[in-house]
Amino acid sequence: MNSKLSSEIKAEAQRLGFFACGIAKAKRVSTEEEDHLRSWLAAGLNADMSWMNNHLDKRLDPRLLMDGLKSIVCVVMNYTPSRTLPKGEPQIAAYALGKDYHDVIKQQLCRLATFIYGEDAEHANYRVFVDSGPVLERYWAQQAGIGWIGKNEQLIIPHAGSMFFLGELFLDYELDYDSPTTNRCGNCSRCIEQCPTHALSKDGLFDASLCLSYQTIENRHELSDLAKKNIGDTFYGCDLCQKACPWNRFAQPNDIPEFQPTEELLGMTRAKWEQLSLVDYQRLFKGSAVKRAKYDGIMRNISALKT
Active-site residue set: 131
Residue 249, burial from CB neighbour count under 10 angstroms (0-12, 13-18, 19+): exposed
112, 129 Cβ separation under 8 angstroms:
no
Cβ pair 88, 268 in contact under 8 A = no
* Surface-to-core class of residue 58, CB atoms within 10 Å of its CB (0-12 exposed, 13-18 middle, 19+ buried): middle
- Paired with 75 in beta bridges are 21, 167
- What are the start-end ranges of the H helices in 3-125? 3-15, 31-42, 56-60, 101-117
List the beta bridge partners of residue 210.
none
Cα gap 135→258, rounded to integer Å? 25
Looking at the DSSP assignment, which residues form a beta bridge with residue 166? 76
Yes or no: say if 182 and 170 are a contact pair by the CB < 8 Å rule. no
CB neighbour list of residue 54: distance below 8 Å, 6 or more residues apart = 134
Burial class (CB in 10 A: 0-12, 13-18, 19+), 23: buried
